[in-house]
Amino acid sequence: MQENNRIGSDIWLRRLMKTGIPLALICILSLWLGQTFGVPALGWLFVLSAPLVLLIGFAYNLRYLLLVQRRKRTRQS
């Protein structure tokens, strides 16, 4: 548990999380509201923001896995 706290305090993980979560909310809300109210501009907002949200999510996961591997290597040696 102690190691997860140190990994979670990584500055890049926190930056990715602080940008990714609000952007993901905007993405999902634009899809939902665009479909509900029939506003095509919100659909385009979803189309433009979805790849960015996916890219940030993949970057977060890769960074997390790299930090976990680094911690395991330092613990073994």
- Where do the domains of the chain lie? 12-76
Tokens of 28: 């999902």
Of all helices (H) and strands (E), which one includes residue 36?
helix 11-37
pLDDT tens per residue, range 31-48? 999 999 999 999 999 999
- State the average pLDDT over residues 3-22: 88
- State the average pLDDT over residues 48-55: 98
| Predicted pLDDT at 7 | 78
- State the average pLDDT over residues 14-33: 97
| Predicted pLDDT at 2 | 57
- Taking all residues of the chain, what is their mean pLDDT, rounded to a whole number? 92
Q: Tokens 């102690």 identify what position?
A: 2
Q: How far apart, in whole angstroms, are the C-alpha atoms of residue 38 and residue 23?
A: 21
